[in-house]
Each structure stands twice: as structure tokens, then as C-alpha cells.
Chains A and B, each alone.
Chain A
Amino acid sequence: MEKVTGIITANYSSEALGALTKERPAASLPFGGRYRLVDFPLSNMVNAGIETVGIVTPYKYRSLVDHVGTGKQWALDRKNGGLFLLPGTVFGVSSLDSRFLMRDIRKNKVYLNRSRAKYVLITSCSFICNMDYTGLFKAHEASGADITMVYTEAKKDCKYTDKLELEGDSVKNVTRGVKKGDNAFIDCFVIGREFLLKMCEWYAAIDHLDIFELLQGEYAKMDVRGYKFEGYASGIFTVDEYYKCSMDLLKPEVRTELFNYDSMIMTKVQDSVPTKYLGEAKVKNSFIPAGCVIEGEVEGSILFRGVNVQKGAVVKNSIIMQSCTIEAGVCVENAIIDRNNQISAGTVIKGTAADPLVIPKVNY
């Protein structure tokens, strides 16, 4: 395999994620009990043997840098290669819906110039998947394409996902918004390193645009291909998508694919003690990490580390993020409770499955 270097764009958010990404980039949005979205592309890259990964940082980068650190947990604390933080060029994260700004690449050209890799794999943090990239690399190398874009069949409509118009495996156009059944770009593509550096020159004057905006009308002149990913891939651009994708983890087939022990999703490890169930705990159909204490009732839910569900509390079809306490007698249903919330005794928090209620993060 030719050498590949990775770039993860972690400097954007989605307006439709609302309060969930008000103070953090989508990349550091907690997901699946102990992960953050960035863990998925980062682990996929490392599992594919990529040893050098650059992360384009968001304006509010504290939570992201706190999480990835030196890349130690991903074995990226290396002497040769390793994890690089590439300063993003956008100030503010909330309303910009571009995920691959040319300027972010161009301003970090030195990262690419110093690399000896033949190819660059670029992904956003918006899709939850456990993907083995080796098939993609092979397809890209075999076709000799300039760019190979990964797509999946859209399971539903989404106005934030890009649609690939394909002829055979040739990409003829990329437009924003997919309908169910379309070829949905999962924000992951391979490109020759030298070709990417050339693009930096060609588009220097208009580098405030997204790479795929720049390529509008250029597809006939370039060899851009699609590569279909057959596994589970779910975009997270809206609260609804976040909620549904989280709830997918309760399905054994999704769980075993995403958390496949041969290609582990890695994350920042904390010294959480195993979760303690006390006498009156009643838990079913739930996904619960270490570090929780459960005395109440939990059903159809995802908890994060350090959650305490007290006696008589009921948590149903909800997502409770790190360090929340659900006090006695509280009823939480169809809700997403962001970090550090203490829900006081007797409170009732109810959303609907179609419109889950979000309780924003508490800062202390």
C-alpha cells in the first residue's frame, strides 16, 4: 500500500444540531456513551495503518484538544508522523455548512509539503461508521482517479448531506441535499497529495469556498470517482439524526459493526470504575459505560460516564451525557440531557420520539 496521510476537518458545526453544538464543534459532540464524533474517523484512519493525521481545529478548540491530546490513545504520539493540529481559518463554528474549506488546506500546506505520502485521505466528523479504508485505497489506486469519494445509499432525506451524481463510477456532479435512495457522500475522499497541492495553487484566489463547490463544473475535466461503502454509515447534522443514530446503538447488528473488536473505535480513556447497580435498579435495552451509579429505572437509553440515576428516577428513550445526576422521582423521556446537568427531584422532562427535548450543557 502506498503511504497515506490523513486530514480530519473538525472545524465546523451544523446549525440544526442546535444547543448540542453551541459551545463545541460537531467533532467533539459526545456520542455512544463514551465517545466523541472525532473518534470514529480518527480510529478508522489509525486502524487502516495511517500514521500521520492532521486535525483542522475549530475556533473553540478546547474540548477537542482536551480529547485528542497528543494522540496517545490512538498510538499517534509518534516520533515519525503522529498527530498534527492544523489551525482552522474560520472564526466561529455555528452557521457555516462547509466541511472542506479550501483555505483550511491551503493555509496548512506545509503539512502536505513535508509529507512523503502519495495520497491524502480527508474526512469530516459528521458520519458515524467503522470503515476499513483499505478497499477504498485499492480502488483509488487501481482506477488512477484524481479523487475518489465514498458514498452510501441514503436511508432518508437530508438537506445537509451531499449527493453524488454518478455515471458508472464517475462522479458527474455533487450537490447539497439527498433524497432517500440517492448516492449520499459520506464526507470522506482520497486525493493525490500532489494533486491537492496543485488545487491549492489553482484555487488560491477563491479559497474561501468548499472544495466541492470549487469543483462545480470541473467534473468533466477531472477524473472523480465514487466508491460505495456498504456498511453502516449515519450522518449527524441534526438533533433528530443524532438521536436516531444514538438509538441505533441498541440494535445488536449496528453495535457489533461499529464496535467491532478487530477495528476498535478508540477514545480518551478515563479511570472510571465499573458501573454500579444498586438494589432497586431496573435497566433494560440500554447502553451504559463504566463510571455510572444506577439505582433507578433506565429503559431504551444511552448513558455516558459518571451518570447517576437515583432511586425512583425513570429514564426512558433518552440520552444522558457525562456527569449528569437524575435525582429521585425524576421522569425523563425522549430527551437529550447534555453534560453536567443535575435534574432535581420530581422534575419531568418529556420530548417526543420525533422531537426529542434537548437540555443544554451546564458549565461550571
Chain B
Amino acid sequence: MRKNDCLAMLLAGGQGSRLEALTKHIAKPAVSFGGKYRIIDFALSNCANSGIDTVGVLTQYRPLVLNSYIGTGAYWDLDVTGGGVSILPPYATEAGGEWYKGTADAVFQNLDYINMNNPNYVLILSGDQLYRMDYADMLKTHLENNADLTVSVMEVPIEEASRFGIMTVDEEDRIVKFTEKPKNPDSTLASMGIYIFTKDVLERALREDNANPESSHDFGKDVIPKLLAEGKRLFCHRFEGYWRDVGTVASYYDTSMELLEEEPEFNLYEPGAPIMSNADFRPPHFVGENGSIEKCLVGNGSVVLGQVKHSILSVDSYVGEGAEVIDSILLPGAKVEAGAKIYRTIMSENACVKAGVKLGDENDAKAIILIGDNEIVERG
């Protein structure tokens, strides 16, 4: 692959409002996950591991944490000469300024960035999905089919198909029909929201979409159906493997807990394709004389003086003497003081449960308690 042959545009501006308190202060791609990561680590690591070293990150909603986290991209080895990570927020022009009105509009407003890098292909990614993928394989599919657009798809159970954008394909995997959330799906191939466009096709499609006052400026709703209607060459790239979009608090919780299984479906550590992150210099974690840890993931900088069972303790968590943490997730800096007991609780960054407080019901296997960033819980 020639340098900059394929450029990635990473959509990271979404709020993710269904994650409630988790995204009150930060964008969804910046939400902590898996003890030391933020969700955007997966897309950035995939780019680095796939040999894509030019990545535009489109930000809009509460970008501060995201911007400072990404920095120069060095943590993903994306601080390279002639490429690297560029943060692309909405900007003003002599005609005024505008927010990104949709996924397609966000990329449209950054056509200058794309043209400056002059790639032949543009990879469109979401910054809020958990998966490991070699985009080079997808690009290969795109080239083999001489496609205008390639959509990454995965098989989903037919009963879940109505939650996705569903692709109907012919025997060559050419897309013949695309339906967003169909009531009666006729295919089980769901779009993962990952696209490779031939650059000239993308540019023309985005300019036309921008000129269309009826459009909602969304790739799935507007751009792809239009290209399909025009008879462009749209193909599928079939992906098999782990993929999650943690859209809700419940799915965030379940996806996190899956990591605690002995052989989790998603292996965070795969030699040759590591998930990289902007990790602080934290000392090892300390387990005290009366601490006990069972079926857990524990990040650096944590201190465990109490009992922790089937939980994730992210970087810099604290569990005091006599405290009990069961089926819970502590995000970075969360603190459970001495004697406090929490069950099925997600504590956001730097949240604190004061000494002796009890949260959650050990017999209720459904309800999840969510405590926001920096929140202090003084009573149960």
C-alpha cells in the first residue's frame, strides 16, 4: 500500500445519550472500558494495526477528554511524518460556522482534509465500537470487486436483524438492496457502519448530498441508498468475529462483564494486534493483607483492601478495608470507602461511595446502578 493510499475518517462526535451518566461529561468514544481503555482505542488500534497511519478524528460533542486523550496519536504509533492523527472539529468560514449535521455532513465539511492527503480510498469508521479488524483485508475486498463502496457486514440472528441496517446481496456479494431497520428483514447481513469509499465517488456523493435540502446527511439513510439507486458498485465485506456497539448502559455492562470470563470471546491481548491506549504511568496495583480478588480485571494504580468479586477495577480504583464490590465496574479513579458494599453498580470516573454505604441488591440480578463522574454517594 502506498503511503496515505487509504485514509481513515473516524466519527467520534456522537453523544451516546443512551449511556446516560457515562456520557454526561465526555463523548461516547471517550468512555472508559475494560479497565484501562477508552472506547476509541479499538478503532485507533485497528487503524495502526492495519497499516493506516493517516486518521482524521471528527469530534463535536464534549471533545475535551477525547482531544487530550488522543494527543499526538503517539500512543497508537500514529505520530508519523506525513500522516498521523488530526482532530477535526466543526469550524467557521467566511459564510459563518455550522455544526456537523450528520455523519455524511461531518465528512463533507472535511473534504479539504481528505484532498490534502490525496488518498485513493477513504475508510469511514465509528469511534464507538468494540472489535478487532484488519482494514487491509477490507480494502483488498474493495479492490478485488473494483467497488465504489464496500460496506463491512456481519451475520446477525434473523430475530435481531430489524435493529440494524440490512444488506441484501447477490451471489457476488454485490449489494442489491439496503434497508435501515427493516420490519421484515430478507437478509441477515447487518451493516457495521464501516465503509470504504473510492475517494472520487465519495467526494461527488458528498457534494450532491450537501446540495440536497431534503437529505438528513447520514451515510446509512441518505448517501448509501442514493449510490445504490444510481447503480454504483456497492459490495459487502464479510466480517466474522467479535463486534459490539455498546449503545446502552445495559449493553455496556454486559459487554464489560464478558471480559471476565475465563476465555472471553474478545481477547484484549492478541500478539501482533494489541489494543493500544494512552496509559498513564501508574504503579502496579496493591492488594492488602485482608484484600481478596476473585474473577476480576484489575488495572494499575489500584488499591484493594477489601473484597472484590466478579468486577472490573479500572486504573486507580480504590476499595477500602471491609468494603465489598460484587458484579460491579469501577471506572478510573472510582473509590469505594471502607465498609461500603456495592452490587451491580457502575461507578463512573472518580465517583466515590462513602464509608458504610450499601448500594444495590445482591439478590436482584437485573437492576444496574449507575453513578456519574465525580459523584459522591453519601447514603444508599
Contact = CB atoms under 8 A, between A and B. Distances in A.
Contact of B297 (A252, A258, A267, A276): A276
A242 to B, nearest CB: 17
Nearest to A264: B281
Contacts, number: 102
B284 A33 contact: yes
Choose among B34, B262, B294, B298 the residue with the greatest number of A CB atoms under 10 Å from its CB.
B298
B206 to A, nearest CB: 35
A275 B298 contact: yes
Contacts of A283: 287, 291-293
Interface stretch (B95-103, B156-164, B272-280): B272-280
Interface in B255-304: 262, 268-269, 274-277, 279-300
A278 B295 contact: yes
Report the contact-size class of chain A (Cβ under 8 Å from the partner): 35 or more
A288 B298 contact: yes
A329 to B, nearest CB: 19
B36 interface: yes
Contact of A275 (B75, B280, B295, B297): B297
A79 to B, nearest CB: 14
Report the contact-size class of chain B (Cβ under 8 Å from the partner): 35 or more
**Chief secondary structure at chain A's binding surface:** loop
A118 to B, nearest CB: 30
B268 A273 contact: yes
30 contacts: A34-B283, A258-B283, A259-B283, A266-B281, A271-B277, A273-B34, A273-B269, A274-B34, A274-B312, A274-B314, A275-B297, A277-B293, A277-B296, A277-B297, A278-B262, A278-B295, A281-B294, A282-B292, A283-B292, A284-B287, A284-B288, A284-B290, A286-B287, A287-B283, A287-B284, A287-B285, A288-B285, A289-B300, A290-B36, A290-B284
Interface of A: 32-34, 72-73, 250, 252, 255, 258-259, 264-267, 269, 271-279, 281-290, 302-303
Closest A-B pairs by Cβ, 5 of them: A274-B35, A33-B284, A289-B284, A259-B283, A271-B274
Given A259-B283, A289-B300, 17 more contacts: A33-B283, A34-B284, A72-B74, A269-B281, A271-B279, A273-B268, A273-B275, A274-B314, A275-B285, A276-B297, A277-B294, A277-B296, A277-B297, A279-B294, A283-B292, A284-B288, A288-B284
